[in-house]
């Protein structure tokens, strides 16, 4: 486990002085999340803003009695259940480790206490804007693209993700059955 990976990630968004990193690093705590374990279960309040150093996470929500995949988070990236974290309300989503994962947590209290640092404040703001942009792109694709075109785009832009995610979760993300995804995969590879 290497907390400097989180520092490098933050530095992609803002200049991070030694002094600021010294303050931030005091509030960052590591944990290993085993494959298949939940980082967060629906109904729990999300208490952490987290950085995924290693691994792969699945965000899902309950819809018509089944958990439907909203999106995936691939290391290295930061994540939280934004609405639950910000509003201190029970989460509507699950966050599950699809691989053994290394996570660095900053508690809600510590994250807010660090907002006096311009670097942390700017980092959090820029990251939220980036995640909102990604969310809008996903919604736009769901509304305007076929599952096959979305799958092809995933193959082009994130081929590693397609190989790492179980078929049923990938199908759920695309809004189709695993059987339909198998047919699409056959067509695409022919």
CATH T-level topology, domain 4-119: Jelly Rolls (2.60.120)
Question: Is 124 in a helix, a strand, or coil?
Answer: helix
Residue 138: what pLDDT?
83
Across the chain, what does the average pLDDT equal? 94
Query: Closest by alpha carbon to 71, among 84, 53, 89, 56?
Result: 56
Residue 135 has pLDDT above 90, yes or no: no
Q: pTM for the complete prediction? A: 0.91
Question: Where in the chain are the domains?
Answer: 4-119, 145-190
Average of per-residue pLDDT across 104-112: 97
> How many angstroms separate the CA atoms of 18 and 75, rounded?
24
Instruction: Name the band, by pLDDT with cuts 50, 70 and 90, for residue 40.
Output: very high
Instruction: Name the band, by pLDDT with cuts 50, 70 and 90, for residue 15.
Output: very high
Question: Is 46 in a helix, a strand, or coil?
Answer: coil
């Amino acid at each position: 486990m290497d907390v400097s990976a989180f520092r490098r990630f933050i530095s992609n968004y803002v200049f991070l002085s030694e002094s600021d990193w010294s303050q931030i690093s005091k509030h960052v705590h590591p944990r290993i999340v085993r494959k298949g374990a939940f980082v967060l279960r629906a109904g729990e309040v999300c208490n952490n803003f987290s950085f995924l150093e290693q691994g792969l996470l699945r965000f899902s929500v309950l819809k018509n009695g089944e958990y439907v995949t909203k999106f995936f988070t691939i290391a290295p990236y930061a994540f939280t259940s934004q609405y639950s974290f910000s509003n201190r309300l029970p989460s509507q989503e699950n966050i599950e480790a699809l691989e053994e994962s290394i996570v660095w947590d900053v508690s809600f209290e510590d994250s807010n206490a660090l907002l006096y640092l311009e670097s942390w404040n700017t980092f959090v703001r820029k990251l939220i804007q980036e995640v909102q942009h990604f969310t809008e792109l996903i919604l736009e694709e769901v509304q305007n693209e076929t599952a096959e075109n979305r799958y092809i785009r995933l193959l082009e832009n994130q081929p590693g993700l397609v190989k790492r995610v179980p078929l049923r979760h990938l199908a759920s993300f695309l809004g189709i059955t695993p059987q339909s995804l198998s047919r699409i995969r056959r067509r695409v590879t022919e």
